Structure 1
Amino acid sequence: MPTLKQEYRQFLADNFRGLIIREPLFYNGSYGLRFDLQVGKTNTDQYFTEVVKRASVLFEAIFDSSDNVFFILLDFKWKRRKIRTSNYSFKQIKGVNKSQITFFKVKHLYEPTDRFDLRNMAIIKTTANKISYRNILMAIAHSDFPRRQPRLDNRGILTDKELYFLNIDKQLIFHMYDDRGLDIIASDRNTLQPIYEQFNDWLLDYDRERMDTIFKNNSVQHQR
């Protein structure tokens, strides 16, 4: 039986050959969508409500409740700092225990020559219906706002954590980077086509030309 780490790496090799899970995910994949989550005045209760609402709708659009998921947590390693099983995001996954989490380190994720570029990584395999994703998305939205709760890091500091949801069954990867936006990439263009069409008004205008180049012409064919 393959280990969880081997299973995760095999999934990437089979569906996203050469992909390194890191920000910005949108620019790392061949087929991707980047969404704008910002509505209204920043740092108000209504603002965060709308951010999480959009992020949740997009999550629900690509994850069915029975879908198998790799939940990935990355955290910058500093001295003896490690990912604790008591962290907020793990508490949002129903029934998970320490034996179901695989921990390891990733070197040179962003800086190939920097020996201090070291991340702690944790992998959990679960199903979408066991993830309290709204709570997690809210915590991500608060990443740059230390006074707001809940947070991925409850110490009240800016967090270096990155979270990725990999849909094993649909070969999709979902990454909300902060309150500003989120990325979804897929191994096949047709998988993202209906998402591009349904949520076109939410696409980030800065990268719209890139997305239109991939999906717009296909949209006409898709409607025939």
Structure 2
Amino acid sequence: MPLRQHIATLADGQAYRHAVFYKLPGGLRFRMAEGGGHFAGVLTAVRKATVVCEDVFAGADTILVHLQRYATANRFDLRPTLKQLRLAGITLPRVREIWTEPVPRSDPDDDDSWWLNALFELPRSHLASLLWCAFAKDMWELQPNPHCQVYLINPATGLMAHPYDDRGMDVVGTSHEALRQLYTAHHAWLLDYDRETMDRSFATPPPA
């Protein structure tokens, strides 16, 4: 199956970008950072997300990685991203799919810009590096930092993890049972703000 078909199936043909918990209903939202400085917050987020993702990718040898980055008409601005990925030990494999999507203009005089997408498989051993890149993306002082969205997909189970920043991580997918198991196993880390929504989907009866 072509790599892009996996994400089309997972998202039911919809374009997803950021906040996938709200764009693809029926998922989970986990609280990651627990205070402290930027470096400590990212380390805590990586540690907790690794625990959850070990269940998301249980039995899998590889991770399907979808990177998404804003790009201007000056395509050279992508070179720092590739350099930072290499510093994190991540090199895009030869087998990959790369495409662009135009960013809608709010003003006719705006310069052209795109969302650049890269989709490829990596060994599961790269999980911690991928999580670091995801959680550090908005913190310019932290390195390595490719400043891109990171989506981690398990095609076998139809689950996708999106560590959106150091505060949290969404997990969505096509398997209600797999999501229910994550809800039960990691209930203490669910984000309180959206807990009622998740309880309606997975709690029978709601936990005490």
> Hey, what does 1:92 align to over in structure 2?
89
CA distance in 1, matches of 2:90, 2:206: 36
81-90 or 193-202, which deviates more: 81-90
Question: In the TM superposition, what are the counterparts of 1:75-114 in structure 2 within 5 Å?
Answer: 75-81=69-75, 83-84=78-79, 86-89=82-85, 92-93=89-90, 96-97=92-93, 99-108=94-103, 111=104
Question: Which residue among 116, 122, 139 is the counterpart of 1:145?
Answer: 139
Residue type of the partner of 1:124? Answer: F
CA distance in 2, matches of 1:106, 1:218: 43
CA distance in 2, matches of 1:188, 1:168: 11
Question: Which residue among 28, 33, 42 is the counterpart of 1:33?
Answer: 28
Contact preservation (8 Å) 1:12, 1:19: no
Secondary structure, in 3 states, of the residue corresponding to 1:105? strand
State the 1:146 CA deviation.
1.6
CA distance in 1, matches of 2:107, 2:4: 24
State the 1:218 CA deviation.
6.8
Confirm or deny that 1:57 pairs with 2:51.
Answer: yes
Could you list the per-position Cα deviations for residues 142-167 of structure 1 after superposition, in whole angstroms to 9, with x for gaps in the alignment?
A: 22322222212xxxxxx3x2111111
Residue type of the partner of 1:34? Answer: R
Cα 1:208/1:69, change in 2 over 3 Å: same
State the 1:54 CA deviation.
0.6
Question: In the TM superposition, what are the counterparts of 1:56-205 in structure 2 within 5 Å?
Answer: 56-64=50-58, 66-81=60-75, 83-84=78-79, 86-89=82-85, 92-93=89-90, 96-97=92-93, 99-108=94-103, 111=104, 116=112, 118-129=114-125, 132-152=126-146, 159=147, 161-205=148-192
C-alpha root-mean-square deviation of aligned residues, in Å?
Answer: 2.7
Contact preservation (8 Å) 1:92, 1:136: no
Give TM-score, length-normalised by structure 2.
0.82
Give TM-score, length-normalised by structure 1.
0.77
State the 1:41 CA deviation.
2.2
CA distance in 1, matches of 2:100, 2:168: 27
Secondary structure, in 3 states, of the residue corresponding to 1:18? coil
Identity %: 26
CA distance in 1, matches of 2:204, 2:105: 37
Residue type of the partner of 2:20? Answer: L
Number of residue pairs matched by the alignment? 201
Could you list the per-position Cα deviations for residues 83-125 of structure 1 after superposition, in whole angstroms to 9, with x for gaps in the alignment?
A: 448343366347x54x3232211134xx587784521111113
Unaligned segments of structure 1, at least 5 residues: 153-158
Secondary structure, in 3 states, of the residue corresponding to 1:31? coil
Residue type of the partner of 2:99? Answer: F
Cα 1:47/1:23, change in 2 over 3 Å: closer
